Chains A and B, each alone.
Chain A
Amino acid sequence: MTPNGAVLFVVILIVAAMLADLPGLVVICAVAAAFAVLETRENAWSALRRAALLVLPLAAFMLAIWVGLIGKSPLEIESGLPGSRTSALLYVATVSLRLFLIVFVLQAVLLCFADESPFSVIRSLRAPLGVKRLLVLTLSLIETLRHAVGRSHMALVASGVITRRLSLRNLGHGWILIQSVWLTAITTVLGRLRDKWPAENTLALLEPALAQQERPMCARDRVWHLVALAAALFVFGRLILGTA
């Protein structure tokens, strides 16, 4: 799959997922599963695991609140009906499945490009140069922050201010880590903004690097788009019928 094809595929599926009811979500689930298996192969388990790790605790929490404590769904609360735990359970299932799908699809699509660097993926996108530059800048800052976290963690562990393992000291000194990460990131960024980038006009180097490498969509992309659109049509159909 190409990056441009992947973006369109994700947009179609996520929009459909946001509007879908439970049967619609099941259909989208099937599409997402097929995509993950065919496009990412063994990495599909990785996408599934990550989505589950994120969503299962949330689902458990919502179950405890909606089904355990409140005992009815938002619609029943709103309309003043007595309500039931079954409808609360259905509500939680729908919301959880929706979230799971969004995360799963995003993870699966990202894993399609696991062998490529983020920079080369962005280069391939068909998007205005300004958008690509912003994406590159944002990703570079994420990397900067990631390294700032590592360096700050090292500094604070070496000085004993925080510990490597979970501890009460870390809870009390968490603010120091945030401050240290911020200052490390700012110093790094300052060095670039003041010295490196003006001297070289480094940002201007992005133009030729980003401008010429777009990858047009391929036939495989089109097939997946059709499949996603079919699922979306099913969702919209149920929406319209439900409204009618």
Chain B
Amino acid sequence: MFTTPRLIAIALCAALNFAVGAVVYLVKLPIYMESIGTILCAMLIFPDRWAAFVCALIAGLASVAVIGLLVNPFLPWFSLTVLAIALISAFVTATGDGVYRARPPQLLAFVVRVVLFGVLTGVVAAIVSAPVVAYLFGGVTGSGSAFLVAFFLKTGETLMRSVLWSGLTADPIDKVLQVLIAALLFRATPAEFIAMVRGVPAKA
């Protein structure tokens, strides 16, 4: 399962998570963008779904550890969310790899898959994260979504509902963006590298 190309892919995808996620966290946007690498890792390894899941999970957890130590101390507590994203990416999102890499591009099929898979990932991530945000951090984790939680709290919602509504508002949008960027990066990746990571002969 852990060939050298896959280890390299895991490390690169973890670094991608770190780079984009850290910048977004620091500028306090109400999105996260910390799982692009996780989703991309699953796409790169895809036909072997379990390997795709494990490698995506490691990439996600590695970046969560680094971001947690250096930028966002709350992130390590969302490891379950990382697991959920890796699972969906490996078993659902990555199934669109033929469409993502189609030349010429199949625009409608591409957009439908990105939106569908992004929304699904976002909804699941919001539900899995909500208890952690609500009970461990009281709704505020230092990311821009705190504004949304504060807004819902002010409207009289309970803490759990505020966190859930905040997540269901921001997460689908965030995850659609992340699936889109991951799919575009996957599309741009040279076939030779994908073949190395998948352990198959190269084809265009």
Contacts and interface: CB of A to CB of B under 8 A. Distances in A.
Task: Please tell me whether chains A and B touch each other in their complex, using a CB distance cut-off of 8 A.
Answer: yes
Contact of B193 (A66, A74, A189): A189
B159 to A, nearest CB: 5
Interface in B51-88: 69-71, 73
B197 to A, nearest CB: 9
A4 B80 CA distance: 31
A141 B140 CA distance: 33
Contacts of B188: 179, 182-183
A95 B11 CA distance: 30
A70 B150 contact: yes
Interface string A117-148: 00000000000000000100110011001000
Given A69-B154, A190-B192, A58 B142 contact: yes
B73 A182 contact: no
Nearest to B177: A175
Chain A residues touching B, majority SS: helix
Contacts of B181: 175, 178
B109 interface: no
Contacts of B189: 182-183, 186
Interface stretch (A30-38, A40-48, A98-106): A98-106
A65 B141 CA distance: 10
Interface in B8-55: 8, 11-12, 15-16, 19-20, 26, 28
A78 B159 contact: yes
Contacts of A183: 188-190
Contacts of A137: 7-8, 11
B138 A74 contact: yes
A61 B140 CA distance: 10
Given A70-B140, A186-B190, A193-B4, A179 B15 contact: no
A78 B20 contact: no
B147 interface: yes
A90 interface: no
B178 to A, nearest CB: 12
A74 B137 contact: yes
A233 interface: no
B193 A190 contact: yes
Contacts of A190: 190, 192-193, 196
B12 A141 contact: yes
18 contacts: A57-B26, A62-B140, A65-B146, A70-B153, A74-B137, A98-B73, A99-B73, A102-B69, A141-B8, A141-B12, A142-B15, A145-B12, A145-B19, A182-B16, A183-B188, A183-B189, A190-B193, A193-B4
Interface of B: 4-5, 7-8, 11-12, 15-16, 19-20, 26, 28, 69-71, 73, 135, 137-140, 142, 146-147, 150, 153-154, 159, 181, 184-185, 188-190, 192-193, 196
User: Nearest 7 A-B pairs (CB), nearest first?
Assistant: A74-B138, A69-B150, A141-B11, A65-B146, A99-B73, A190-B193, A138-B11
Interface of A: 54, 57-58, 61-62, 65-66, 69-70, 73-75, 77-78, 91, 95, 98-99, 102-103, 106, 134, 137-138, 141-142, 145, 175, 178-179, 182-183, 185-187, 189-190, 193-194, 197, 203
